[in-house]
Amino acid sequence: MRGEATVLHADLDAFYASVEQRDAPELRGRPVIVGGGVVLAASYEAKARGVRTAMGGRQAREVCPDAVVVRPRMEAYAAASKAVFAIFRDTAPLVEGLSIDEAFLEVGGLRRIVGTPEQVAVGLRQRVRTEVGLAISVGVARTKFLAKVASAVSKPDGLLVVEPDAEQAFLLPLPVERLWGVGAVTAEKLHRVGIRTVGQLAELEESAAENLLGRAAGAHLHALARLRDPRPVNTARRRGSIGSQRALGQRPRSAAELDVILSQIVDRLGRRLRDGDRVCRTVVLRLRFGDYAKATRSRTLRSATARTAVLLTLARGLLDAAAPEIATRGITLIGVSLSQLAPDDSVPPELPLDEDDGVRLDTVLDAVRDRFGAAAVGRAAQLGRDPGWSTPVLPEYE
């Protein structure tokens, strides 16, 4: 039915922390922080005490001294995500994953088979709770944007349906921070001119929003404020890049420590490339300095590759070039993304004389990790270090 609220946005609640509470009953009902140096995730009990994602570990323990701090277990989170996405795909024919813990589902064609979109959402939440042991919040609306806002408003462990005739009453009173793409900087620009609600932004002319926020951002946010979001649930879109990052906190890091962290990131990304039968041409190094300014450095290869050794060589070169700036300004975050992705069968096969031991080594290491887990084998320089440090970078929304 045209104009019906048939888009679901399903978002697992406090995902990493919820997995920890699921697997350790003694943690249920207690404030839980995942990650020691930097908070990767916090349970709702910890959030109620003021703990926030990306907060420094020391600050988090100050605001919540009785919190239980646990080391991240990325394999457990990946397994839980896989189980939940299997339920998504069993629920609806059209599923668009956004990240490890959220997705859009288009359920407009299921009314005669399963029931109304709300009934589909109820069944989805029950299955995730029963089969995976996790709480999930779901928003149902006519557009992806409104469904995402609805799921956020319904948290924790909620379900909210925004019918087409109630869209303005739901959206316009909300703070502008609820708009997809409004961060602290954009919110401050809007607050400075007295715009604090979505409705106030919607009252502006589009040209005024563009002058205030820039042409692209202003037009995009103004359209959302006026309930314009024509994007369908897209199951065919593949990411144009993949990446991982690590927040480092404020303490100084030696060149050796940064190299270890960089190798962990690249090892993980190389495996993800090969698991997806993909190759890349561009390596991007992302840095956040001690003053919180950000910088990116990139190198592009002539031919695409998925070899870990090649990717690591490029990434190390970029990091070495940034070393003087890191030495004077400090560093609080390091990340790597791989872009210009393509299917691996799009690359001409190499001659046998060009094939070195690196290819065979990657294949063997991937097989060992597939069978025995990601921490089963690693670099000697990584011995004794936490293997579960990584925070996945969310895919950019198109």
Which residues form the catalytic set? Answer: 102
Rounded (5°) CA angle 161-164-169:
80
CA dist 263 and 56 (Å) reads: 23
CA dist 83 and 79 (Å) reads: 6
Quick one: which of 295, 299, 300, 301 has its CA closest to 323?
295
Token duo for residue 307: 């070899």
**DSSP bridge partners of 289:** 331
- b (16+ CB within 10 A) / e for 350-365: eeeeeeeeebeebeeb
Three-class DSSP category at 300:
strand
Token duo for residue 162: 């925004």
List all residues 6 or more positions away from 72 whose beta carbon is below 8 Å from its beta carbon: 16, 34, 35, 40, 41, 386, 388, 389, 390
CB 227 within 8 A of CB 201: no
Residue 296 phi/psi, 5-degree rounding, is: -130, 145
CA dist 12 and 83 (Å) reads: 12
Quick one: which of 316, 300, 297 has its CA closest to 308?
316
Q: What is the DSSP letter of 123?
A: H
Give the C-alpha distances (Å, rounded to integers) separating 384 from 33, 260, 375.
21, 12, 11
DSSP per-residue letters across 183-230: -HHHHHHHHHTT--BHHHHHHS-HHHHHHHH-HHHHHHHHHHHTT---
